[in-house]
Structure 1
Amino acid sequence: MELEIAQSTPTAASIATLVQAHYDLGQVVESEFLRRSFNQVYRLGFASGRRVVARLCAERPRGGPNTLFEAAALEHWARLGCRVARCLPAASGEFAVHVPLAEGRRALMLFEHLDGEATGDSAEDIEALARGLAALHRAGESYQGLDSIYRLDLDYLLLMPLLGLLRAPTMTAELRPQFEQLGQRLHDDILALGDLSHVLCHGDAHGSNNFVVPDAEGQREAVFFDFDEAGPGYLAYELAVYPWSLYPRAPDVPASDKTKAQWRRFISAYREVRPVTGADLAAIARFMAVRQFWLLGEYAGRIPVWGSQAIPTDYLRRQVSMLRTWETLELPL
């Protein structure tokens, strides 16, 4: 009997061997498995002293990785002076090497290695993140490269994740209609806000997918990586990811004065670089709830790999309470 494999985890040494065979970067002398999340990420060091990050892309609820668009968008941003970790081509010129594994072929991508520290709580770090994100959006306005497979619209961010969540084995007959109603109200509320702005999104800019480093003048600036979720989408969603990461994601837990001050500093610094319309500002709090639906859908889609207790029933019950609270959430400006 042959067992079906949900997802393999290659060792760092095997990834190093693969990269050495497919990339003209010389001998790999060190390798490290960094993390297993939606993808598997490795750090490699070469005899030349160069370091890179390797990402073994996984199938997601949305489908396969957006490799060609991601590489093209990163090159565009870098060409316009944005600090991003570009994708490195293999010796063949391709931006992904397809690795045969027990579950099927998966794409391996290499990226420039960045040094620095994740965004901290200081005013300088928060402002650097906001300014850097605004610069990405401004540069993205002139992007004319390959199309993205995915668009960060309400189907992608809300409706498809909701469907996946409703099929989760830990979902109950009691909770299912409550999530359906919450999702539908959220969808209708956002449509009622009218036309909202769109940008070329990073897609996951919560402050830990960038480092903050000193520039040539000693000022703090953000350098960005992990563009797996990049694509054209709502500006309000992109801006919602940071406060979503700050605000308590639990029912009946109010945001602290510190959290509110961090959010104010972030949105103020962003607006100093790039304007935000009143409709987009009003939509940000609603898109925080959209972000939570997206995350729940991602967890539901990873059950074959992570197990059903990644989203146990008691956790889902708390999510209903939290999402109801967030229906009236207002962000301070």
Structure 2
Amino acid sequence: MKTFPAQYSTLSAVALKNHLIEAYQLDPATTCRLLIRNVSDTYILENQSQKYIFKIYRDAHRKRNEIEAEVELLNILKANGNGVSYPLTDVTGKQIQQFNAIEGLRNGVLFSFAEGKVILDLENAQLIQLGQDIAKLHQTTSSIKLSNPRPVFSFETTLFEPLHDLKLHFAEMQEEFEYLSDVAVRVVKKFEEFDTSKFSYGYCHYDFFPKNFHFDSAGNITFFDFDFAGEGYLINDLMTFLNHYFFHQLNNLITKEQAEEDFNTFLSAYQQVRPLTADELEAIPYLGITFHIFFLKFFYDNYDDWSNAFLTPRYTKHRVTLIKKWEEMYCNF
């Protein structure tokens, strides 16, 4: 019987283990197991002395040239002394593996393991370290141009394209769609008040939640998961970290006063390395609206292959409510 085409397969951990042991000359006792099934699947490989992360991308989410750009970016960051989980090179000199999966070609990268752990409630010393390390990372990403393309975070890609593509999804939620359309226009109008010519621009991580960096026992930070890395205002990364405090407050895990104090400690530490203009500081919260609308489109686009079983009208309305709460908490139009 002919094999029927699949839209999304999960590659065998056993087969991957055998392939990667040979390709990278790893310890034959290395084990491999699926860690996260997502728009890109993540596996963990480990033996008695070492751990690795293997990420395999879905072609519909990341084309080969975008992966090459991510690898290039991480190689540059590592060479400049930034603490990142970086791509490893196999015995033939390749940093990207290719597999002929059921749905077609898929590309994968073996990464160094980020030692340490996630810390959700950061103390002052950790906030200072984080602010300075992100600023140092931005010193690198603001001064390079990659050979291959990455996404661009502009109002077109984070507001207007998402709203155009989401219009059908909101067919039965006209009130919510009208709100999003209105707030998008207000964000753009607000930015007309800022001197954006003086905003730092470069490659953003665009997902600087604590889940994407580890602190080791000595307090050193390793950043990882550059899956969304793209070009835009560098304050986008400060905005994504502000989202950590937004959700922490909504979940009653921190007071408003402590959240403001902690974020200001982080911002002050960042500015010890990379000063920000007054307009950049004021603009940070307004980019939060673009971030949430961008991810609404991301959830919509990847619904089929991400097993995101909760993209219901109720869930969508909840996400719009979050944007309203963000506006109430941080914005002053």
2:236 equivalent in structure 1: 237
In structure 1, what is the equivalent of residue 296 of structure 2? 296
CA distance in 2, matches of 1:193, 1:310: 38
| Superposition deviation, residue 147 in structure 1 | 3.9
What one-letter code is carried by the residue in structure 1 that aligns with 2:245?
L
* Residues in 2 aligned to 1:309 and 1:22: alpha-carbon distance in whole angstroms: 36
Q: In the aligned structure 2, how far is the partner of 1:174 from the partner of 1:250?
A: 26
Q: How far is the alpha carbon of 1:133 from its aligned partner?
A: 0.6
**Judging changes above 3 Å, is the alpha-carbon distance between structure 1 residues 166 and 306 closer, same or farther for their aligned structure 2 residues?**
farther
Structure 1 residue runs without a partner (length 5+): none
Task: Give the aligned residue type for 2:237.
Answer: E
State the AA in 2 paired with 1:223: T
Is it true that 1:150 corresponds to 2:151 in the alignment?
yes
Q: Is the 8 A contact 2:142 2:200 kept in 1?
A: no
1-side partners of 2:65 and 2:165: how far apart? 18
Shift in CA distance, 213/46, structure 1 to aligned 2, threshold 3 Å: closer
144 and 64 in structure 1: CA distance in 2 versus 1, 3 angstrom threshold = closer
**Which residues in structure 2 correspond to 1:133-282 (within 5 Å)?**
133-168=134-169, 172-195=173-196, 196-215=199-218, 220-248=219-247, 256-282=256-282
Partner SS, residue 94 of structure 1: coil
Counterparts in 2 of 1:223 and 1:249: CA distance versus 1, 3 Å: closer
Closer, same or farther: CA 179–318 of 1 in aligned 2, 3 Å: same
Aligned length: 327
1:239 is matched by which residue type in structure 2?
L
- Going from structure 1 to structure 2, the CA distance change for 1:159 and 1:26 (only over 3 Å counts) comes to farther
The structure in which a higher percent of residues are helix is 2
1:155-178 Cα distance to aligned partner (Å, 9 max, x none):
333333333433438863443333
Change beyond 3 A, Cα 1:225–1:308: closer
Aligned counterparts of 1:76 and 1:329: Cα–Cα separation in 2: 37
- Distance change >3 Å, CA 174–CA 231, structure 1 → 2: closer
Could you tell me whether the CA contact under 8 Å between 1:250 and 1:318 is conserved in 2? no
User: Structure 2: 5+ residue runs without aligned partners?
Assistant: none
1:199-257 Cα offsets, whole Å, 9 max, x none, are 33222111221111244xxxx23111111122322122111001112204999x99622
1:16 alignment counterpart: 17
Pairwise CA distance, 1:4: 4.9
Q: Deviations over 1:254-273 (max 9, x none)?
A: 96223222212211221122
SS of residue matched to 1:117: coil
CA-CA distance at 1:61 after TM superposition:
5.7
Q: Decide whether the 8 Å contact of 1:41 with 1:55 is kept in 2.
A: yes
SS of the counterpart of 1:327?
helix
Change (3 A) 1:250 1:292: farther
Partner Cα separation in structure 2 for residue 142 and residue 321 of structure 1: 38
The range that moved more, 32-41 or 170-179, is 170-179
Kindly indicate whether the alpha-carbon contact (under 8 Å) linking 1:54 and 1:111 is maintained by their aligned counterparts in 2.
yes
Residue 107 of structure 1 aligns with which residue? 107
Indicate if the aligned counterparts of 1:77 and 1:84 stay in contact, CA closer than 8 A. yes
1:283 aligned residue: 283
Task: State the partner residue of 2:316.
Answer: 316
Distance 1:194 1:25, change over 3 A: same
Q: Which is further off, 102-111 or 228-237?
A: 228-237
Residue 81 (structure 1) aligns with: 81
Q: Distance in 2 between matches of 1:54 and 1:171?
A: 41
Q: Which amino acid aligns with 1:206?
A: F
8 Å contact 1:61–1:301 — kept in the other structure? no
Other structure's SS at 1:66 match: helix
CA displacement at 1:309 relative to structure 2? 4.0
1:90 Cα deviation (Å)? 2.9
Q: Aligned-pair distance for 1:192? A: 4.3
Structure-2 change in CA distance of 1:124 and 1:32 (3 Å): farther
Residue 60 of structure 1 and its aligned partner are, at CA, apart by 5.2
Aligned identity (percent) is 21
Q: Deviations over 1:69-93 (max 9, x none)?
A: 1112112111121111111123332
